[in-house]
Structure 1
Amino acid sequence: MKKLLLPALIILNLTAFSQVPNIKFGVISSEEIKQKTYAIDTSAEAVVLYEKSDVSFGYDDNYGFYIDSYLHIRKKVLKKSGMDRGEIVIPFYRSSAGKEQYITDIDGATYNIENGSMVKNELKKQSIFSEKITNTNYKIKVSMPNVREGSIIEYKYKKRSFLSVKDKPDTWYFQGNDPTLWSIYDITIPSYLYYQMISGGYLPLNINTQETVSINMGHSKLNASGLHYIFGVKDAPAFKKEPYLTSREDYISKIEFELSQTMIPEQLTKIYSTTWPDLDNTLNQHEYFGKRLKKQKYLSDLVDAFKVIADKKERLQKVYDYMSRNFSADDSYNSIYAEDLKKVFTNKKGSPTELNLMLVALLRELDFNANPVITSTRDNGRINEFFPLIDRFNYTYCQVNLNDETINLDLSSPFLYFGMIPEHCLNSTGRLITEKGGEFVKIAPTHRYNTLEEFKVELLPMDNKAKGTYNISGGGYYAADVRTDFFKKGEKTYNENLISDNSELKISKLVNEKMDNKNEAIKTNFEFEYEDGGIMEDMIYLNPNLKGRYKTNPFKLEERKYPVDFAYSQDHTYKCEIAIPKGFEVVSLPASMSTIISGKAASFVYNCVKDESKNSIMVVSRLVIKDPIISPDLYPDLKLFFDKVVNKQDEQIVLKHK
């Protein structure tokens, strides 16, 4: 995210790069109706030809200020698979009088070519439905008529939101699931309402204008000057979910608002924006945050039990082990607050935030410098250090400073190593809240995802199959993930799933080891048989990468504007020893290779050789992702890197009968 402009009187980069397109509702050009593909993205199922939101403010005598948004959208269906674009959903809120949103002035039509002429099919009222989702959340569903491949869909509507429901305009996204020729956001803000406007994403603004205008609110005391902004993006590509990406909110191009201050005539000035010190102080005084960290009687027995351990590092380890073993967390990653920690303590269960705040409280009573860190989980989007917005945080974990060593602790899973940050928290930055204030802290993984796979294979050419043994051991995030899956499903279901996921192998004597000791690497081993049409009486063609290889490159796009986020470093070692059957000789083996990308961000080494002393073939490879986050400028290198990995792991050994 980046700061586009300050409260509504200041804007950056005022140059207008393009003229605002003059698109009239209901006026369809012959070029639009005849268009069959989108040249920039031929895979597109549909393309947004034009979308615009006109936003203005008004005043109602009964319910106060409101925001009106007029939306006009025109789409082209390019493929049959894009016909669902004709089903429109408009969410809205409704509670009580003055605390609701209104959707009105819905209009639209579908345009098709029939017998060489353009035919207009108007939207009918019976194709517009209102549906209740919850007590306060509703949606309007619109079914556009006669939608088919080649159709143009055009619709518009007005949305009115009272500031008592929502005090800021809706976020406007310049990107969506389809490519967009023009996306325009037009807003006029009265001078007595101050908003921070925050832009996000990687697309440049083709239109960026500002002018001072007069605003008629319908009330002489409220009529005032204001600022009229127009923002526009041309040829926005579809936002596609790519592998190794956090929340789309971190990367999609958009503009959003936060109310900073109001200076309404004949009313007191209200300041809504805060500074980071304000936020820190608010949390320290908050009933469900800072006050939960004060000395608590319900913890006294634990305090007495652990105080007898003289060595503080050992004491810290024992406390963490006890808490992670005796308290269980649910899956709610949606709050930085804790309501009733005594109840959580009694029930031995709570949200991760509640357990982690309890841990902070306990450690403080045990004379540790322990503090909470608030952050945003990976699926919630990164926090913006420019804007102290407390509602952007949704998670809290514990940080301890002991002898100048920083130790992060989290109780969301009983299978995390001591000092290990869970994967869902690996989201760049957090805010450390101390009793004296706060500061930003970088959140980085302290462990890797590492595995060692070992095969021993005996080839049986007369039976067209192979048999052997397999072992995998691993630690770090691999071990945490596997243990979580193992104990959540139970050993029987876990083993059944493992067998199902490796259906090409006939598995027997499956054994899991070290599952209950999170401080050791886990191990899984089994025996297997493997039928392969490439194993014949006189010739053998065998891929020695029997498991865990990349069959396709995970990176498909030619270029990528967003970083590749693996979350943590990875280290995968693969070993396979293949006994050469009696009477066979080697025809060819995959050549050894080594490849690396700039800065050693990733590396791959592959060796395949014949061991004369054992009359066997040894395959050893190692794939390392050193840098958890790889910048977009290295994406071409990374894509090429994985092309090489895929190609090498696809190569076969060839043996023949003498």
Structure 2
Amino acid sequence: MKVFYLFIFLISGLSIYAQDSFNSESYIVTKNDLELNSYSKDSTANALVIYEKGNSYIDKNTFKLIFEHQQKLKILTRDGFDKATITLYLYNNDGRKEKVEDIMAITHNSVNGQDVKTQLDKSQIFTEKYNDNYTLVKFTLPKVQEGSVITYSYSIESPFIYKFKGWDFQDDIPKLYSEYNTSIPANYEYNIKLVGSLPLVKNESGRHIECIRLNNGGSADCFTSIYAMEDIPAFIDEDYMTTRENYLASIDYELKIFRGFDGTVENITKTWKTADDELKSDPNIGRQLIKNVSSNVSIADSVLTESNLYKKAKGIFEYVQSNFVWNGEYSIYNNSSVKDLIKNKSGNVAEINILLHNLLDDNGINVYPVLVSTRNHGLPTKIYPVISDFNYLIVQAEINNKIYHLDATDPYLSFGMLPFRSLNQYGRKLDFKNGSDWIDIIPSKRSTISRKVQLEINSEGLISGSLNANSTGYHALSKKEAYFDNPTNYYKTNKDDHPDLDILNHEVEHKDKTSFNFVEDMEFEYVAEDLGGVFYLDPFVFKFFKENPFKLQERTYPIDFGYKDSFLYNLNLFVDESYEIIEVPKPLNAKLPNNSGELVFKVLKNDNNIRIYYKVDFDKEIYEREYYSYLKKFMNEVVNSENNSLIVIKKK
């Protein structure tokens, strides 16, 4: 009987589990798919991919690339209705084009416990031109409502067999199961890159003998692969990240070698040596880098005759920075000549920084151009050279055995500081004599905000205060841009940001646009909150963080600050003798793992004087995703300490 009851218990347990589960094992819509209306692992999801599968192969009859796709998706809320609109991008070039076939789309709704199906009418499939190389095919599934399950499938026939289809495992909604099957003829050798940090639950490979056979007797085997992921969380953008394409779980293909049936071999993917040779001879890069342009500019003699190499380089940098305007265009190519830039006084990033490179080189400074991809452009692959991965060019200067990275496109940058947009981990230094190499793009100095606050409360409850604030690095950069663009508006904005303060005086000390520091002083007054003779004072008159920027349950990509960061707050409070101090904030110390960050909050009370020392350090430019839960908890401590700390005083 015990065995019987155990058997019944196990069967009932399986039944309960089945009743709470979507069918993620196949394209077939089940009763559970229709009736379940929430996803326990992500209560915020407005839609859920239950099952999807892709298949790419070369058709043995037409020798065209076939891509087949099918997806089963659950609409959980009205916000998920947009997932019922499907857009396909079809590529065309040189008279050849991709075409879509066999579109089949059905909306499934549960009516009285039955699966009521509504099929997409072919007349509801629309085609429109997107640009010269792409045509859009769009359709929206009919009768979609909350709780609907939609299924759709299609195939794309492509003559561009060099452009093997990649696959996105991850999207902005969660997925239960995603699988991609490939069959690649052995004469096509691809570089295959798995992007993101999510693990594959299936990674299988095999060989299909003579999957392709020609009329002349030629044949090729095919290498087959199956890749799959399950329980894939939604990718949600959050602060402190670069472009999502860096981290979205996907698989990409880049053709490396093509071997023809006649024995010919075509190397599609170049080596860096080949790429260096091509860049060196390129009329818009290599040939521009060797042009002597010193005779075409009018740099002050005091700069050119300077014996100190650092001061000379800094003077040349500031000349380019202040005399040539970046037109906002990103490119590694100098679309016009350096001499045209000198004439027009405006150009793209490559034109301005190649001019900087050449002027430094002409004056005895050891320099190299560096190819970079900006933060919103994606990380360049290190596996093989893909020049289109780069969209930016900076200059590396070596002065007295010290390396400086330079960019003259921003009039507010200090010497040796790059714009935030180009802080994207690494770049490729071009050295046409010794060969190019990867270098790290990391700021050499920490960026900080330091605030020293003096407060004094008189017997009437009036608080008089002063602030000395010093911002450095990237914190200073944003302030300089705002101040020098419109000083009047800068002061007004600051006043609007602190409506509780009566600002008596506010002055900016540094008037140099390119200074690494931005220092300002302020004098202010405000009235303490009086609740029946008890006063509650917020020691953090000027806060660094008002809320925690980390809100996700789980983050699958790194936390990229771009630079090391520090926040320092010193408060000195004098309380009139007519009060007694009842309560002060509790001291606090918190650390991130591996000593990668620290929160220090110290409070010292001496008679009617209170001193507070507060510091937050982030000692890594980039934190791996494993740090996320620790950073989230750490920031909760930071935000709570800044926004919920009080000094309580009472009239004697």
TM-score normalised by length of structure 1: 0.88
- Corresponding residue number in structure 2 for 1:646: 639
Matches within 5 A, 1:151-162: 151-162=148-159
In structure 2, distance between residues paired with 1:515 and 1:170: 54
Using the TM superposition, give the Cα deviation of residue 137 of structure 1 relative to its aligned residue in structure 2, in angstroms: 3.6
In structure 1, distance between residues paired with 2:525 and 2:124: 59
Letter in 2 for 1:173: D
Summarize the Cα distance change of 1:221–1:540 in structure 2 as closer, same or farther, 3 Å threshold.
farther
**Farther-moved stretch of structure 1 (399-408 vs 215-224):** 215-224
Unaligned runs of 5+ in 1: 1-19
Letter in 2 for 1:354: E
- Corresponding residue number in structure 2 for 1:224: 220
Summarize the Cα distance change of 1:123–1:361 in structure 2 as closer, same or farther, 3 Å threshold.
same
2:107 paired with 1:110: yes
List per-residue Cα deviations over 1:449-470 (Å, max 9, x = no partner). Answer: 111123334557968x755333
- Corresponding residue number in structure 1 for 2:86: 88
Summarize the Cα distance change of 1:520–1:150 in structure 2 as closer, same or farther, 3 Å threshold.
closer
Summarize the Cα distance change of 1:260–1:113 in structure 2 as closer, same or farther, 3 Å threshold.
same
Matches within 5 A, 1:119-518: 119-163=116-160, 167-213=162-208, 214-216=210-212, 224-266=220-262, 268-297=264-293, 299-302=295-298, 305=301, 307-436=304-433, 437-459=435-457, 466=463, 468-487=465-484, 489-507=485-503, 509-518=505-514
Summarize the Cα distance change of 1:529–1:266 in structure 2 as closer, same or farther, 3 Å threshold.
same
SS of 1:379's partner is: coil
Contact 2:580 2:650 in 1 (8 A): yes
Contact 2:108 2:148 in 1 (8 A): yes
Which of 543, 568, 579 is matched with 1:548 structurally?
A: 543
Using the TM superposition, give the Cα deviation of residue 72 of structure 1 relative to its aligned residue in structure 2, in angstroms: 0.9
In structure 1, distance between residues paired with 2:162 and 2:511: 51
Letter in 2 for 1:139: L
Letter in 1 for 2:620: D
Using the TM superposition, give the Cα deviation of residue 103 of structure 1 relative to its aligned residue in structure 2, in angstroms: 2.9
TM-score normalised by length of structure 2: 0.89
- Corresponding residue number in structure 1 for 2:30: 29
**Farther-moved stretch of structure 1 (521-530 vs 250-259):** 521-530
**Farther-moved stretch of structure 1 (647-656 vs 635-644):** 635-644
Summarize the Cα distance change of 1:332–1:154 in structure 2 as closer, same or farther, 3 Å threshold.
same
Summarize the Cα distance change of 1:535–1:155 in structure 2 as closer, same or farther, 3 Å threshold.
farther
Runs of 4+ in 1 over 6 A off after TM superposition: 460-463
Contact 1:294 1:361 in 2 (8 A): yes
Using the TM superposition, give the Cα deviation of residue 321 of structure 1 relative to its aligned residue in structure 2, in angstroms: 1.6
Using the TM superposition, give the Cα deviation of residue 535 of structure 1 relative to its aligned residue in structure 2, in angstroms: 3.3
Contact 1:401 1:407 in 2 (8 A): yes
* % identity of equivalent residues: 28
**Farther-moved stretch of structure 1 (212-221 vs 202-211):** 212-221
Using the TM superposition, give the Cα deviation of residue 380 of structure 1 relative to its aligned residue in structure 2, in angstroms: 1.9
Letter in 2 for 1:93: Y
Which of 570, 576, 580 is matched with 2:575 structurally?
A: 580
**Farther-moved stretch of structure 1 (153-162 vs 199-208):** 153-162
SS of 1:183's partner is: strand
Contact 1:303 1:362 in 2 (8 A): no
**How many residues are matched?**
626
Contact 2:299 2:316 in 1 (8 A): no
In structure 1, distance between residues paired with 2:30 and 2:404: 63
2:650 paired with 1:656: yes
In structure 1, distance between residues paired with 2:170 and 2:459: 56
2:572 paired with 1:571: no
In structure 1, distance between residues paired with 2:295 and 2:531: 69
- Corresponding residue number in structure 2 for 1:53: 54
Using the TM superposition, give the Cα deviation of residue 304 of structure 1 relative to its aligned residue in structure 2, in angstroms: 9.3
Summarize the Cα distance change of 1:238–1:462 in structure 2 as closer, same or farther, 3 Å threshold.
same
In structure 1, distance between residues paired with 2:646 and 2:300: 64
Summarize the Cα distance change of 1:183–1:222 in structure 2 as closer, same or farther, 3 Å threshold.
farther
In structure 2, distance between residues paired with 1:506 and 1:87: 54
In structure 2, distance between residues paired with 1:458 and 1:21: 66
Using the TM superposition, give the Cα deviation of residue 611 of structure 1 relative to its aligned residue in structure 2, in angstroms: 4.2
- Corresponding residue number in structure 2 for 1:562: 557
Letter in 2 for 1:370: V
List per-residue Cα deviations over 1:573-630 (Å, max 9, x = no partner). Answer: 1123334255321110002222223333111211233343xx3433221111122222
Letter in 1 for 2:48: V
Using the TM superposition, give the Cα deviation of residue 293 of structure 1 relative to its aligned residue in structure 2, in angstroms: 1.0
Contact 1:461 1:540 in 2 (8 A): no
SS of 2:237's partner is: coil
Summarize the Cα distance change of 1:542–1:21 in structure 2 as closer, same or farther, 3 Å threshold.
closer
In structure 2, distance between residues paired with 1:637 and 1:630: 10
**Farther-moved stretch of structure 1 (557-566 vs 356-365):** 557-566
Using the TM superposition, give the Cα deviation of residue 220 of structure 1 relative to its aligned residue in structure 2, in angstroms: 5.7
Contact 1:303 1:365 in 2 (8 A): no
Summarize the Cα distance change of 1:546–1:66 in structure 2 as closer, same or farther, 3 Å threshold.
farther
Letter in 2 for 1:365: D
**Farther-moved stretch of structure 1 (603-612 vs 217-226):** 217-226
